[in-house]
Structure 1
């Protein structure tokens, strides 16, 4: 995807995030790998007012940025995930309601539904707490994510990753849905957790099933 198209896609996804109800205001942030750098939503700028030229370009090596607006305060988290995970080209961070509720409770999400397989793990881990925008939070995010494609940040929100932005947005919706199902199931009783071997099989099936992205590679 050409750089200008990536910039436009970031803005469209940021607006969609709020329209879908998985984020509020400018609290979330998104990034796309761009060579040895990343394009990321800027800090504190309403998505409806964003133009492609305002999207900051941040270099993965040293965090230098180019552009008229400063990058999101969470740029370290995005950079460090992209540096640690060569299979990841897009990162989405939101404060969706049910995921954030579970993050406030410091609860992992177990395999209450087979769709957890789209995250490449049988459990979505929840990290400890660190202040927003800090290296400490970034370290927790990278560790908590591991090789999975989703993690809850303690008392904060969620992160999902993917090989492209469309798939990352899809996973963000799926993670919020899983969080809602788990929360409501706990209110009704004790949810049955699917066995590890069942989820391993689902992970293999999801390797060729799920969202068919139209993004250029």
Structure 2
């Protein structure tokens, strides 16, 4: 079975999306890219995360052609491919329908720096214009709008988060949902006071060395 480890990750992080309240049922999708083999593991279309097994995860090539797996890949395969083509630093994509991020997307609001943890994306989270799900138009909108950020809101749809590995993309999605909730609640209560641009620049610089260093193999 090709990309066995990556397939298991898709299963594991699909369940984590549910556990974290970032989606429901079969909503959203995940993928990861193995650049050495030029193959992508992506969840199957329309199957609840609780029912997906490693062998159900679909393997496609960089053109989206199915290489292995009995199911059709996610209907949003197009924007996964577009993101991998656009950004060589991206090796994982997580798409959610998380409530607060999607609320902002339905209001057509970008997510500004109301809290420094927006730095998981950058100094903000941009908004991609609306396009029908699963279309080439949506794929272009996502790839064009994300720029150098690690997250992008999809108008009237949800959130896309990216990373160098699936864990990082998941963390981006989780933290941005937290910041989206703060921003929405602040807007309900009054006018949010945003983190200043120069402070966000300092935050982003500190984020470069945040966390544990990569340890050498034993």
Q: 1:130 to 1:87 in 2, by over 3 A?
A: same
Structure 1 position 88, deviation (Å): 0.9
Structure 1 position 147, deviation (Å): 0.5
CA contact (8 A) 2:120 2:176 kept: no
TM-score, normalisation: structure 2:
0.93
Gaps of 5+ in 1: none
TM-score, normalisation: structure 1:
0.93
**Partner of residue 195, structure 1:** 196
Give the RMSD, CA atoms, in angstroms: 1.7
Gaps of 5+ in 2: none
CA contact (8 A) 1:166 1:213 kept: no
CA contact (8 A) 1:29 1:94 kept: yes
CA contact (8 A) 1:129 1:155 kept: yes
Structure 1 position 37, deviation (Å): 2.0
**Partner of residue 82, structure 1:** 84
CA contact (8 A) 1:117 1:200 kept: no
Aligned length: 212
Q: 1:14 to 1:124 in 2, by over 3 A?
A: same
**Partner of residue 5, structure 1:** 5
Structure 1 position 29, deviation (Å): 0.2
Q: 1:183 to 1:210 in 2, by over 3 A?
A: farther
Question: What is the aligned counterpart of 1:56 among 48, 55, 58?
Answer: 58
Once the two structures are superposed, the pairs formed by residues 157-196 of structure 1 within 5 Å of their partners are: 157-196=158-197
Deviation sequence 1:28-49 (CA, Å, 0-9, x none):
1000002312110010112222
Deviation sequence 1:50-84 (CA, Å, 0-9, x none):
22112111111x22112101100000011110111
SS at match of 1:30: strand
Once the two structures are superposed, the pairs formed by residues 114-129 of structure 1 within 5 Å of their partners are: 114-119=116-121, 121-129=122-130
SS at match of 1:8: helix
